[in-house]
Amino acid sequence: MRILHFFKTYYPDTTGGIEQVIFQLCQGGRALGIDNQVLTLSPNPSPAQIQVADHPVTRVKENFNLASTGFSAQVFGTFKEMAAEADLVHFHFPWPLMDLVHFATRHGKPTVLSYHSDVIKQRHLLKLYRPLMHAFLSRMDRILVASPNYQRTSTTLKPFVDKTVVVPYGLNQAAYPVVTPTTQEKWRQRVPPKFFLFVGVLRYYKGLDSLLRALEGVDYPVLILGGGPQEQELKAMAETLKLRNVQFLGRLDDEDKVCLLQMCYALVFPSHMRSEAFGISLVEASMYGKPMISCEMGTGTTFVNLHEHTGLAVPPNEPPALRAAMTRLWDNPVEAAAFGANAELRFQQLFTAEHMCATTAQIYRQVLAEKAAD
């Protein structure tokens, strides 16, 4: 079975949550008899054909980017050629150019779409995009959403409930690096013995300004792992608030990230907008048995982190509530450890890459069988 994944960004240029999901599907599908490949845009697609782990990636030139949407003239032809060789196309939403490519190329192949997020930031442009978006979603054979929470609260998905399937994102723990004693010792020298950790790209919807305000008047150590467009603004804010207990670590390699996940007391994940549809960092924390704090937005963040079971959920963008949750975990290590144990068990039950890949492969086969029977 040959599957073409299509999304605006991918490794090695970007390393977000959607990229991680595509990566896991491509790698995990190999054991299920699935030949996955990825088509994506890149500002510098040289070379155009690369190998990421065990799957091929084709990159075409991104001509410009507007409102978080990459545009490429070349991608139409490349997509048509690659789709002709595939049994099924797996789209990853949202990306309006993708909708145009689908209709313009008339590729005629069965389709599955992973609905990663509603369109949130570009609300004014959404009014223009909505007719195309609705037509595009209408043409998909299956729509996958990562949590029942998001399916239930997304107004965009409501007309398509009959073809929407919940497939939680999953990770393969065996693919993560083993932390060496040298790395462990390096971080023991650099960080406090007890600390909260944030992991993610520093974007507008991550709620990190709320986290910094929650730290006013308390001295809980917090490590912020990740880079991004808000990094300098957040560092300036920490200086203005005179926070001396926050460390901005920037982007780190996977071994360092795993080491810090293993060492941290708890993960704090203050994303406050529906752009945060799931939270791969929460799954990673669950994988390592860590209690979590997240915000209740009706998205997958509180599907991964069940309030009072794997951690605590607080209202979005409310620093006092976030501070109170941090205080509760900090002052109650027995309860925090119980949350962490529950999180690890929930990971094994729901959020493994094996489960995600097997369910997705079953959906591919269902769609192909239905098309063959038409």
- For the stretch 139-155, pLDDT in tens is 999 999 999 999 999 99
In three-state form (DSSP H/G/I as H, E/B as E, the rest C), the secondary structure along the chain is CEEEEECCCCCCCCCCHHHHHHHHHHHHHHHHCCEEEEEEEECCCCCCEEEECCEEEEEEECCEEECCEEECCCHHHHHHHHHHHCCEEEEEECCHHHHHHHHHHCCCCCEEEEECCCCCCCHHHHHHHHHHHHHHHHHCCEEEECCHHHHHHCCCCHHHHHHEEECCCCECHHHCCCCCHHHHHHHHHHCCCCCEEEECCCCHHHCHHHHHHHCCCCCCCEEEEECCCCHHHHHHHHHHCCCCCEEEEECCCHHHHHHHHHHCCEEEECCCCCCCCCCHHHHHHHHCCCCEEEECCCCCHHHHCCECCCEEEECCCCHHHHHHHHHHHHHCHHHHHHHHHHHHHHHHHHCEHHHHHHHHHHHHHHHHHHHHHC
Question: pLDDT, tens digit, for every residue of 174-196?
Answer: 999 999 999 999 999 999 999 99
Q: Is domain 2-172+352-373 classified as CATH 3.40.50.2000?
A: yes
- Domain 2-172+352-373 shares a fold with domain 173-350: yes
What CATH number has the domain spanning 173-350? 3.40.50.2000
Percent of the chain with pLDDT over 90: 93
The rounded mean pLDDT for the chain is: 96
- What is the reported pTM? 0.91
- Domain residue extents for the chain: 2-172+352-373, 173-350
What's the mean pLDDT in 284-291? 98
What are phi and psi for residue 115, nearest 5 degrees? -90, 95
What's the mean pLDDT in 269-276? 93
pLDDT exceeds cutoff 70 at 281: yes
Instruction: Look at 134 and 201; give whichever has higher pLDDT.
Output: 134
